[in-house]
Amino acid sequence: MTDCIFCKIVNGDIPSSTIYEDDVVKAFLDLSQTTPGHTLVIPKKHVADIFAYDDELASAVFARIPKIARAIKASNPHIIGMNIVNNNGEIAEQTVFHSHFHLIPRYDNNDDFSIHFGDHSDQYNANELNQMAANIKKHLEE
C-alpha cells in the first residue's frame, strides 16, 4: 500500500534500524523504545491486522518470532523476560494499520512497560464460560 508507513519501511523508502529480514518478515527497532531493544516484527506483505492473515502467512510470521526474540534477549544480559504484544483495531491501541508484533524486552519491575489484565473470574460460573466458549467455537467451524 503506497500510503502505509510500514510498507515504505519494507520498500526502503523510509529508513529503519533493521535487525532481521528475509522474504517474509522484517524486524526493526521501534522508534519509541518502550524498553531498550523494543522491536517490531512485521510481515512484508501488507495485512492490516490479525484478522487478515491466512494460515500460510501466519505460520511463516509466527515461526520467525522466537529466533528474533532469542537474539534480542542474547544481546543484553539484563533482559530477563519479554512481552510480545499485537494490537488490533483502534480500541486496542493499534496506530499503524500494517500488522506488527511488538517484542518488548523486560528488565525489572520499574522498566517502562506495564500491562493490566482485569480479573473478573468471580463474575462467571462454569456454565456461563462453557456457553461463551461454545459461541466462539461455532465460528471456528464456519
| CB 68, CB 41: distance < 8 Å | yes
Strand, coil or helix: 74: helix
30 binds ligand AMP per the rule CB under 6 A: yes
49 binds ligand AMP per the rule CB under 6 A: no
18 binds ligand AMP per the rule CB under 6 A: no
Q: Which option in Zn ion, ligand AMP, none does residue 98 bind, with CB closer than 5 to 8 A by kind?
A: Zn ion
To which residue does cell 480479573 refer?
119
To which residue does cell 533493521 refer?
18
C-alpha cell at 17: 534500524
31 binds ligand AMP per the rule CB under 6 A: yes
Query: Of residues 78, 100, 120, 139, which has the active-site annotation?
Result: 100
Give the β-pairing of 101-106 and 81-85: antiparallel
Catalytic status, residue 100: yes
| Beta strand residue intervals within the chain, DSSP E | 18-21, 25-29, 39-43, 81-85, 101-106
Judged by CB, which is closer to Zn ion: 15, or 118? Answer: 15
Judged by CB, which is closer to ligand AMP: 31, or 140? Answer: 31
Binding region for ligand AMP (CB under 6 A): 5, 14, 16, 30-32, 40, 87, 93-96
Active site residues: 100
